[in-house]
Amino acid sequence: MKENKNKIIIIVSISVVVVIVCAFFIFQELKNKLQIESTEEVAQEQEEVEPEVDTSDIKTTVSINQTADFNKDGLVILQSDGVNYVIDKEFKVLWTFDGFNDGQGFVDGYIRVQQDDKTVVYDKNGEEKFSYGEHDYERVELVSGGCLVITKKDDTYNSSSTKTGVYNIEKQEYVLQPSEEYVSKVQDKGDGMLCLDWSYKKYFNTKTEKIVEYQESFMDDFVDGYTIKGTTNSILVFDENGGMTEIKEPNGEVPGVYNYTNGMAFDVYNSTLFNLETKTAISLKSQFHDVDDDTLFENGYALVKFSNEGSTPYYTVIDKSGNMLFEPVKINHDNTVLDNGESMRVINSTLTDGYFIATVDGNETIFDYQNNKILEAQEGESFQGITNSCVKVRYDAPSRATEYYYKDMEGNRIQIKK
């Protein structure tokens, strides 16, 4: 009996052990399953909160060696680590090129680049339009109006001749046929006007592809469709189609008119404003006694720096009729503190894209054409000029290399995207 009782106890003990072992394994399996489910849930939550990012579209930015001015086509060439980047007005890289540009940059949407043993002419999008080797021509010049002035020497066993013609890059053809008459005479006078002889009366208009001849000779360049020449008491206005008009100077003798843009010219010696489009003159002598000679119009307005009869300098902005947009503000060219606690102002630039730069109490500041303060340089910054409605910035800070970049008129640094 006692023996049977011991057997029962042993069997019960073994059964308990088996149950415990089974329970342990079941518990471990449930635990592992719960951990897996928990991990999957966390992963799913993380995936919902932080989805996987495709980095293939992330673009890097260009750190430039120097700022530069955009041209009239809205293009600028910037350098970074020996690479030339062609940037459009939206600060996007259109294309890059290796090689040497002669410093001429883009001329009416085309650029000439020396690459290895040939020279290539590209358009603004980087498409090759014309190329030539070192010995293909006597001379090739990229000129305004999207043209090349090409001089070529042709030799045969019994003849030799050298001719110069004007080649249209887009049309891929000569628009002024090569002739011995033009050799060493063609000069680019800007705005698509090429002088054809040393009398300075005969020109080729690349826009109309016609030769025009003038009654009088002139040597100044064309700007916005006009060039001018001073006489004793008037100016002669030459348009791009061969026309010539005389505009009388209301204040007497014309010592010289050096600057003309936007169809406007300013005789700074007589304070006379000439409208080249309407062929009229307006005397501003009662308003401006002595005008600086860098008065240039831009989009219908000009920043005028002048002095009163007591030689005190001021500035204002005028329109094409000579109307002042605001009462003249005193400036100080010699960088000294003005009397009566007035702010010191030194004008640093002409009007560009409706803005100009002045130093106010030692800090470079941008104003718009209505004299509203727009933007001030931050510590370490200096403003290098205005272009494409943005400011060119140089940044110098202790223990850091000099940086160059652009800022918009809200003060945001502009990133140039590759």
> Is the confidence at residue 379, as pLDDT, over 80?
yes
> Is the confidence at residue 367, as pLDDT, over 80?
yes
> Is the confidence at residue 334, as pLDDT, over 80?
no
Residue 345 is predicted with a pLDDT of 87
> Is the confidence at residue 328, as pLDDT, over 80?
yes
pLDDT digits (tens, 9 = 90+) for 102-117: 888 999 999 999 988 8
Question: Of the ranges 58-62, 272-276, 387-391, 397-401, which one carries the lowest mean pLDDT score?
Answer: 58-62
- pLDDT band, very low/low/confident/very high, at 362 (cuts 50, 70, 90): confident
Residue 280 is predicted with a pLDDT of 96
Residue 14 is predicted with a pLDDT of 54
> Is the confidence at residue 352, as pLDDT, over 80?
yes
pTM for the structure as a whole: 0.80
> For the chain, what is the HEC assignment?
CHHHHHHHHHHHHHHHHHHHHHHHHHHHHHHHHHHHHHHHHHHHHHHHHCCCCCHHHCCCECCECCCCCCCCCCEEEEEECCEEEEEECCCEEEEEECCEECCCCCECCEEEEEECCEEEEEECCCCEEEEEECCCCCEEEEECCCEEEEEEEEEECCEEEEEEEEEECCCCEEEEEEEHHHCCCCEECCCCEEECCCCCCEEEECCCCEEEECCCCCCCCCECCEEEEECCCEEEEEECCCCEEEEECCCCCCCCCCCEECCEEEECCCCEEEECCCCEEEECCCCCCEECCCCCEECCEEEEEEECCCCCEEEEEEECCCCECCCCEECCCCCCCCHHHCCCEEECCCCECCEEEEEECCEEEEEECCCCEEEECCCCEEEEEEECCEEEEEECCCCCCCEEEEECCCCCEECCEC
pLDDT digits (tens, 9 = 90+) for 253-289: 887 787 899 999 999 889 999 999 999 999 999 999 8
Residue 104 is predicted with a pLDDT of 87
Identity of the amino acid at 61: T
The whole-number average pLDDT for the span 238-260 is: 90
- pLDDT band, very low/low/confident/very high, at 176 (cuts 50, 70, 90): very high
The whole-number average pLDDT for the span 293-298 is: 91
Of residues 12 and 336, the one with the higher pLDDT is 336
How far is 378 from 364, CA to CA, in rounded Å? 9
- pLDDT band, very low/low/confident/very high, at 293 (cuts 50, 70, 90): confident
pLDDT digits (tens, 9 = 90+) for 64-104: 999 999 999 999 999 988 889 999 999 999 999 988 888 88
pLDDT digits (tens, 9 = 90+) for 211-227: 999 999 999 999 999 99
How far is 74 from 318, CA to CA, in rounded Å? 26
The whole-number average pLDDT for the span 339-346 is: 72
The whole-number average pLDDT for the span 340-359 is: 88
59-66's contacts with Cβ under 8 Å and 24+ in sequence apart are 59/417, 59/418, 60/417, 60/418, 61/415, 61/416, 61/417, 61/418, 62/93, 62/416, 62/417, 62/418, 63/403, 64/404, 64/405, 64/416, 65/404, 66/404
pLDDT digits (tens, 9 = 90+) for 121-158: 999 999 999 999 989 999 999 999 999 999 999 888 88
- Tell me if 265 sits within 8 A of 228, measured CB to CB: yes
Residue 400 is predicted with a pLDDT of 82
Residue 31 is predicted with a pLDDT of 52
Residue 50 is predicted with a pLDDT of 41
> Is the confidence at residue 337, as pLDDT, over 70?
no
Question: Of the ranges 132-146, 281-295, 316-330, 346-360, which one carries the lowest mean pLDDT score?
Answer: 281-295
Residue 58 is predicted with a pLDDT of 43
- pLDDT band, very low/low/confident/very high, at 2 (cuts 50, 70, 90): very low
> Is the confidence at residue 15, as pLDDT, over 90?
no
- pLDDT band, very low/low/confident/very high, at 354 (cuts 50, 70, 90): very high
Average pLDDT, the chain: 86
